[in-house]
Structure 1
Amino acid sequence: MIQSKMIYNFLKITIQRIDIMSYDRIVIKIGTSTITNGSSNVDMPKLIDLTRQISWMMHRGIQVTLVSSGAVAAGREILNFPHLSKHIPGKQMLSAIGQPRLMSIYMELFRMYGIVVSQILLTRSDFTNRKSYLNARNTLDGLLSQNVLPVINENDTIATDEIRLGDNDTMSAFVSGLIGADLLVLLTDQDGLFDSNPETDAKAKVIKTIDSVEIPPAVWEAAGGSASGLGTGGMITKVRAADIARRMGTSIMIANGKVPDILIRIAAGERFGTVFRPTNTVLESKKRFLLTGFRSNNASIRVDNGAVKAILSGKSLLPAGIKEVTGEFDRGDTVRMIGPDGHEFAVGMVNYASNDLQKIIGLKANEIEGTLGYTFADEVIHHDFMIVDQ
């Protein structure tokens, strides 16, 4: 009776905490050591528990993206742990076998909680190619808006260099910047980043917070390799990922996946492990990204007074407000927006190339598909991807 009462009180407290969640968008990266729970096999009870926590968060309004390792470990288990060389083709083969198995597990487990799961395989080039970047961003935004859980993995079967780096850590950092996540949670089998090796130094302590602009050299030196031997990363890849994500405006928490209800408690505002503070706001990071695609030639979009007023009030640019398109540019480029007075008042990332935009000048959003035969978005430039001169 006492134990039941304690469980009830704990759940009641947890539910109350969930109602005051601190984040809107969270990226969760689960490493191989977490998925296997330190063993050689995919640990189903562990995955069931993580599924329960993520589903609980999603049912309470948090948009979650899951970056999951474990495909190679799952493939090795399916083949009954064959003795393979450590060369890349062997890992690619194991990944190709294990990835469908891992996804089938996720789909079945989340289905029990009424959550639809999607799979997205990415490589680093999908973030450096602007068209691929836009496609990935739009797809993820669409999935999250429908309360679908994207499960993302490095496309290991073709990523011959990334697979060597445990690049799902770095992948999770890029994804965090892509969707403007508030928090990136890197689950591991450690309590955080220690100031020295805890296996050899009994006095080793967890570094609680890193908020300096540059990560101190001592922190890099303290980051060690993977103790389990199952993953391809280690703490060093997590520190690298944290350094990338924090410059995109995302907070990072390296935490132990074995802590009970770790994800629910983090979502409720509790702190665990090592926290990396962002060096930039999301807006500042977005501006930097936009300016990397800036067209220095005469490419511009001239708009009417109504469009100027709408944009200055926080709205997006629609084709109906466009009067003229000048110069050549591709989808994903950043171009100038010119008002009726001839002055530039904003720049933004376009969803349509100049040749397509010429065809839809002055049209309503619902007329785009009928004219072009397809549509990328109702907005020519979404306000979230503008820099407005105010």
Structure 2
Amino acid sequence: MSQTIVVKIGTSSVTQPETGSLAIATIATLAETLTELRSNGMRVILVSSGATGVGCERLHLKERPRTIALNQAVAAVGQGRLIRIYDDLFSTLRQPIAQVLLTRQELIQRNSYVNIYNTFQSLLDLEVIPIVNENDTVAVEELNFGDNDTMSALVASLVEADYLFLLTDVDRLYSADPRNDPEAEPIKKVVTRKELEELQANAGKSGSQWGTGGMVTKLEAARIATGAGVKTVITHGRRPQEIHQILSGASIGTQFEAQPRGENARKRWIAYSLVPVGELYLDHGAVKAIRDRGKSLLPAGITHVEGDFQAGEAVTLCDSEGKEIARGLTNYSSAEIRQIQGHKSEKIPLILGYTSAETVIHRDDMVSVL
């Protein structure tokens, strides 16, 4: 079966850092590389940043907008020019493309999530390269992706990609910022989830002037993607042609090994696409039952509820110290759980006057967090 590859290129790679104008030579090389990959039978998706940066350049703004409304307006100006450049370059190569604009809200709704999956599959079957960006014009602050690194990882999880390439302004991940620290050590490979968590704990939040990302967001993207069974690579955005060499086994960039893809598609949706709207704190027995035996969550194991939410919404499950152990879809609202917490399931109808389910979260609607 053909491999599926998601390539995300950052604002610092598609624009000139000093001016925000488009880096045409880099984009042209990227188009050639992706067209060659598709011609070789691979299914290719491009996630491209740069709309806001291009909009700033077109409107002669010297810095990224600080308000949501202005940022959305500037992104709308830049998105049209950005996709036109891509269309011109790919048309020269006789490669059809499609523009796909997403918001987090569309991935939260299960029906639209499935529809998006089907759309991607249809485009890839038609040998089209989808070019994806966040729909900044309509995204709301609470439900935006925050950065295209996260979105690219969610897209890679959605389409069950084999690879996610994060093209950025450094050639790989380092122990410190190589632009400031000459003793920074390169990190070539990350194999285990523990290694990735240690990197996340030590990562700084530096990034370019025009982008919203940085290594923090790229490591989070790697966590999401590798957890969904997608091998992830951080490498230099000015040299997209190196993707060919990496696919052939070259040790270029920082490569994150994929974890086993054990969860089904619905559980990956719960784990990565949903935004938890509350927290349930559990006693030791409930934590052990969920973590060690994969059991459902019963009301007796809940000690505290945070947030206001309705039945069917996503919540985080935490141990007594506040560490996340799982997340899932609850069968009861926060108000109902506050009444039944600490009680056995058979007491639910006596307390509430009705029973929606014996479990607060069924194991089929729950995903453990390692």
The alignment's TM-score, normalised by the length of structure 1, stands at: 0.64
CA contact (8 A) 1:34 1:257 kept: yes
Cα distance in 1 for residues equivalent to 2:240 and 2:51 = 24
Q: Is 2:37 the counterpart of 1:73?
A: no
Cα displacement (A) at 1:289: 3.7
The code of the aligned residue for 2:134 comes to E
1:1-390 maps to which residues of 2 (within 5 A)? 24-40=3-19, 41-81=21-61, 85-161=65-141, 166-259=146-239, 261-281=241-261, 283-286=262-265, 288-289=267-268
Equivalent position SS for 2:233: strand
Q: Tell me the matched-pair count.
A: 270
The code of the aligned residue for 1:29 comes to K
The code of the aligned residue for 1:25 comes to T
CA contact (8 A) 1:23 1:182 kept: no
Deviations along 1:183-237, one digit per CA (max 9) or x if unpaired, are 0000001121111232332221121111213345541244333442110111111
Cα distance in 2 for residues equivalent to 1:221 and 1:194 = 14
Deviations along 1:238-268, one digit per CA (max 9) or x if unpaired, are 1011101111110100001223722222233
Partner of 1:296: none
Partner of 2:279: none
CA contact (8 A) 1:63 1:147 kept: yes
CA contact (8 A) 2:12 2:168 kept: yes
Cα distance in 2 for residues equivalent to 1:238 and 1:23 = 26
Larger Rg: 1
**Residues 25 and 134 of structure 1: is their aligned pair in 2 closer, same or farther, counting only changes over 3 Å?**
same
Cα distance in 2 for residues equivalent to 1:64 and 1:222 = 32
CA RMSD in angstroms comes to: 2.4
CA contact (8 A) 2:188 2:251 kept: no
Cα distance in 2 for residues equivalent to 1:166 and 1:187 = 17
CA contact (8 A) 2:6 2:44 kept: yes
Equivalent position SS for 2:122: helix
Please identify, of 113-122 and 206-215, the stretch whose mean Cα deviation from structure 2 is larger.
206-215
Cα distance in 2 for residues equivalent to 1:175 and 1:290 = 11
Equivalent position SS for 1:284: coil
The code of the aligned residue for 1:265 comes to Q
CA contact (8 A) 1:166 1:237 kept: no
The code of the aligned residue for 1:252 comes to T
Deviations along 1:119-142, one digit per CA (max 9) or x if unpaired, are 111112222211011110000000
Equivalent position SS for 1:27: strand
The code of the aligned residue for 1:189 comes to D
CA contact (8 A) 1:23 1:183 kept: no
Cα distance in 2 for residues equivalent to 1:68 and 1:34 = 10
Cα displacement (A) at 1:73: 0.8
Runs of 4+ residues over 6 Å off in structure 1: 162-165
Equivalent position SS for 1:86: coil
The alignment's TM-score, normalised by the length of structure 2, stands at: 0.68
Partner of 2:356: none
Cα displacement (A) at 1:61: 0.7
Cα displacement (A) at 1:105: 0.7
CA contact (8 A) 1:65 1:149 kept: yes
- Percent of aligned positions that are identical: 38
Equivalent position SS for 1:186: strand
Cα distance in 1 for residues equivalent to 2:168 and 2:240 = 13
CA contact (8 A) 1:194 1:206 kept: yes
Equivalent position SS for 2:174: coil
Cα displacement (A) at 1:87: 1.4
**Residues 270 and 264 of structure 1: is their aligned pair in 2 closer, same or farther, counting only changes over 3 Å?**
same
